[in-house]
Amino acid sequence: MSISVLVVDDSALIRSLMTQIIANHPDLNLVGTAPDAYVAKDMVKRFSPDVITLDIEMPKVDGLTFLDRLMKAKPTPVVMISTLTEKGADATMLALELGAVDFIPKPKIDVQAKFLAFQQLVTNKIIAAAGARVKKRVANETVTKTQLSYSGTELIVGIGASTGGTEAIKDLLVRLPASFPAVVMTQHMPPGFTTSFAKRLNGQCALTVKEAQHNERLLPGHVYLAPGDQHLSVIKYGSDYRTQLSDEGRVSGHKPSVDVLFDSLAEHVGHNAFGVILTGMGRDGAQGMRAMHDKGATTFAQDEATCVVYGMPKEAVKRGGVDKSLPIPEIAKQLTEAIRSKARGNRL
């Protein structure tokens, strides 16, 4: 069964490019293109598309306003088309908060090879979005923070996510207290966007969130996010743990890769590590979580019912690397409890 797609973009060039890409894929069906939100609104009513690609910067009504109204009235999987600027990255983070499933950086197409790569990216993201769970936007729920008093450096938490992960990560981190073990995390995202994501999280959480730099000492109460174009791993350095950034090629199809992070936690942190794998397409992180589990780490996966895309957690469960599959509020509680128990045991 083909996936019906509506393209909303004020750029005639982008509309033409997306039309070409969608027309060339056997599983995609372009139901229409709209130059602005007013035309898009009518087309949504008329065609009820499976997926909408939506430009952020449009005349009359901008993409964010249209998205906000759409997710309240008729929740539909939306993939944002975003410019590679700081302003564009900030707007993209807001779009993901408003309910967009994913985003695609607006291309600078100058050679055929780049077009082919962009074509692959667009079709993959649209197909993933078609299978995503989207919910009607409601008022923000009251979040209850877990309680913990931890100031040591021997325990480390690793988090991995992809499609739908920005909101899942935020939902988890806002529930955690400032006195918490160091957290290292990889979210599949291009360079530039991770900077904006870290800044946004830092303003929303009790923990200090930053984009990871090379060879940083991991400190409790801090969260270190892999930069969008580098792998993040952890090594033991004397009695401390430190970050390592690598420019190696893609691993498990991604850069940064969750497997790279989780494998390093398995090797260097072992039973003092905690792993969390959240919503995402594909299988990145599944093998690394199994490695962590085999070394005695405590591991959690987001449950199928609450994932936007149940891909990475499903693969991790299938490989036997997950102790418990839970919704995010319960992960926060049980992760905190496991850390409290481990810290107490390490002191004995």
Q: For position 114, what pLDDT does the model report? A: 75
* Single pTM value for the model: 0.93
Strand partners, 182: 156
Catalytic residue of the set 55, 102, 171, 284:
284
Q: What is the DSSP letter of 164?
A: T
Reply yes or no on whether 268 is catalytic: no
Q: Identify the three-state secondary structure at position 173.
A: helix
pLDDT in tens, 309-334: 999 999 999 999 999 999 999 999 99
Q: Which of 129, 141, 6 is nearest to 66 (CA)?
A: 6
Q: What is the DSSP letter of 143?
A: P
Catalytic residue of the set 82, 188, 257, 263:
188
pLDDT in tens, 170-228: 999 999 999 999 999 999 999 889 999 999 999 999 999 999 999 999 999 999 999 99
- Does 108 have pLDDT greater than 90? no
Q: For position 111, what pLDDT does the model report? A: 53
Q: Please tell me the distance from the alpha carbon of residue 273 to that of residue 185, in angstroms, as a whole number.
A: 13
Catalytic residue of the set 4, 162, 233, 264:
162
Reply yes or no on whether 162 is catalytic: yes
Q: Please tell me the distance from the alpha carbon of residue 22 to that of residue 344, in angstroms, as a whole number.
A: 56
What percent helix, strand, coil does the chain show, rounded to 5?
40, 25, 40
pLDDT in tens, 46-97: 999 999 999 998 888 899 999 999 999 999 999 999 886 778 889 999 999 9
